[in-house]
Chain A
Amino acid sequence: MRMDTRQKIVNRAVKEIQNGMNVNLGIGIPTLVANAIPSHYEVLLQSENGLLGIGPYPVTEAVDADLINAGKETVTAVAGASFFDSAESFAMIRGGHIDLAILGGMEVSETGDLANWMIPGKMIKGMGGAMDLVAGAKRVVVVMEHVNKNGEPKIKKQCELPLTGKGVVHRLITELAVFDFTEQGMQLIELAEGVTLAEVQEKTAAAFTVIDGI
């Protein structure tokens, strides 16, 4: 059931990637999006530890401890890839040279705030590169399950968790729906197959408008 939910999110999220883009995929569901990119696309995936052009996982003989992704997994580099230091990596990110960042989320608010790095009272792990990514990428897409394990909404009027960024999310994709954050506020732009508007309204604790045709 859970994998099914994730796959639905992945299948929708991959449509955000256009041929020729430079894309940063976060850890978790976003990483799975890489496998769904059409093979004829020329997309360079950025890894914030210093690689533009992430390739597939290596065969055993090709495993190289000096070649990892931001999730600390061993990877390969595609033809045309480049390596660079962390300051240059975040110059790319913060400077608006990365077309798209897809990140996971814990909470998203109706004004496009994102919380995805810390839960007070639990051990603080750190924000890694998430705050830089949401502050700098040209387009920020958040992918997450619509409700938490207890069935409670993760899309809220205001985030309760400490923020990763304020008003930074452009688009939110869940297994039920897709929302855009515009100057007019949060807007439902798509319903997943077989999902009703009533179900999305029930599971969303934020105010949103609905585009014509839904």
Chain B
Amino acid sequence: MGNVKVWDSFEKAVADIPNGATLAVGGFGLCGIPEKLIAALVQKGTNELTVVSNNCGVDDWGLGLLLANKQIKKMISSYVGENKTFEQQFLNGELEVELTPQGTLAERLRAGGAGIPGFYTPTGVGTPVADGKEIKNFEGKDYILERGIVADFALVKAWKADKLGNLVYRKTSRNFNPLAAMAGQITIVEVEEIVEVGELDPDHIHTPGVFVQRVLLGENYAKRIERLTVARGEA
């Protein structure tokens, strides 16, 4: 196969991400985050990043590590309440934040990846989110214009990939990952297992390999849990 996308080094896989790049990063809270790629970026020290991600990790894990290292210039997120470093840098004026409703954020990534520069949504009409945005009425109801997002690079975590970059996600760790994968001009994916071409059932592929440029095998996933909750009588 002339199309094999498997890379063997996380360091090399992020080497061409320049300072000032825009990154789309998968994950919801700490679930389904590309923890090895984030670690490689922390190691490399790439800075002035604009990061499009639903959340910004916690103080000492996930995207919080890039924050702590002052590598992020701007976050585009829906919820950033779990992070004290974030609060500090925001209040100091070191960090720009663009808060975007979660569904709008997901759709902005999907649209960007799908070649759609903007779309109208009812979400946020009459709220601060609508400030400065075009409003259009369809069948008697107002909608606001939101823009698609195309990222220079996407950092994605999937469960399994084949060597062509076809991806399968697991349970709720799918979340923003397929959308980030679509929005990235160069999409870099880390997975828990890489299989041979033909081993994934084509009916079960969530992200076709056409959206993926690089695949890496990650080992010893921490998969940190933000709020461990168990059945009553178990705690």
B-binding residues in A (CB < 8 A): 47-51, 56-60, 63-69, 71-75, 77, 83-87, 89-90, 93-94, 113, 123-132, 135-136, 162-167
| Cross-chain pair count, CB within 8 angstroms | 180
Structural contact, A66 and B223, CB atoms closer than 8 A: yes
The interface residues of chain B, by DSSP majority, are classed as loop
Q: How far is the CA of A77 from the CA of B173 in the complex (A)?
A: 13
A-binding residues in B (CB < 8 A): 28-32, 54, 77-81, 87, 90-91, 97, 99, 101-107, 109-110, 121-129, 159, 169-179, 206, 223-232, 234
Structural contact, A63 and B230, CB atoms closer than 8 A: yes
Q: How far is the CB of A118 from chain B (nearest CB, A)?
A: 8
Q: How far is the CA of A65 from the CA of B226 in the complex (A)?
A: 9
Q: How far is the CA of A97 from the CA of B110 in the complex (A)?
A: 20
Structural contact, A90 and B107, CB atoms closer than 8 A: yes
The interface residues of chain A, by DSSP majority, are classed as loop
Q: How far is the CB of B215 from chain A (nearest CB, A)?
A: 19
Closest to B87 in A: A123
Structural contact, A67 and B123, CB atoms closer than 8 A: no
A59-B230 contact, Cβ under 8 Å, with A66-B223, A126-B81, A166-B125:
yes
Q: Other than the known A66-B170, A127-B102, what 16 A-B pairs have Cβ atoms closer than 8 Å?
A: A56-B231, A65-B173, A68-B172, A87-B103, A93-B103, A123-B87, A123-B91, A125-B80, A127-B79, A128-B79, A128-B101, A129-B102, A131-B103, A131-B104, A131-B124, A131-B127
Contact of B231 among A48, A50, A57, A65 (CB under 8 A): A57
